[in-house]
Amino acid sequence: GDSVTQTEGPVTVSESESLIINCTYSATSIAYPNLFWYVRYPGEGLQLLLKVITAGQKGSSRGFEATYNKETTSFHLQKASVQESDSAVYYCALGENNYAQGLTFGLGTRVSVFP
């Protein structure tokens, strides 16, 4: 089946430092699945951070960006300068054309940003 592997947390960074969370994927029935990053802030549900549905494209939101690399089957999330408010759990996910079963998620990466 489909699978998503991402950086194992927890990850601790200082405010204004850069952050990268690695994500690689394997999709069984489609060459180019849709790719997503979701974020869960404390006490909240998961919310969409960004998505890319075309291989080779880059998505960006709230200072985060991720590029869909079909050669390396990767979708790493990066931010140049994090803030304390970026402390959250980040999930990489993929979805195939038939979304009936929803998305396949990675394990999540807990990020803590310290002032």
Partner 1 sequence: EAAVTQSPRNKVTVTGGNVTLSCRQTNSHNYMYWYRQDTGHGLRLIHYSYGAGNLQIGDVPDGYKATRTTQEDFFLLLELASPSQTSLYFCASRMETEVFFGKGTRLTVV
Binding mask 47-76 for partner 1 (x = CB under 8 A): xx--x-x-----------------------
Q: For residues 15 and 96, which CB has a smaller minimum distance to partner 1 in the complex?
A: 96
Contact 36, 108 (CB under 8 A): no
Q: How large is the C-alpha radius of gyration of the chain?
A: 14
Among 21, 27, 106, 111, binds partner 1 (CB under 8 A): 106
Among 49, 95, 111, 113, binds partner 1 (CB under 8 A): 95
Residue type present at position 70: K
CA distance 5 to 2: 10
* 3-class DSSP state of 86: helix
Q: How far is the CB of 52 from partner 1 (least distance, A)?
A: 10
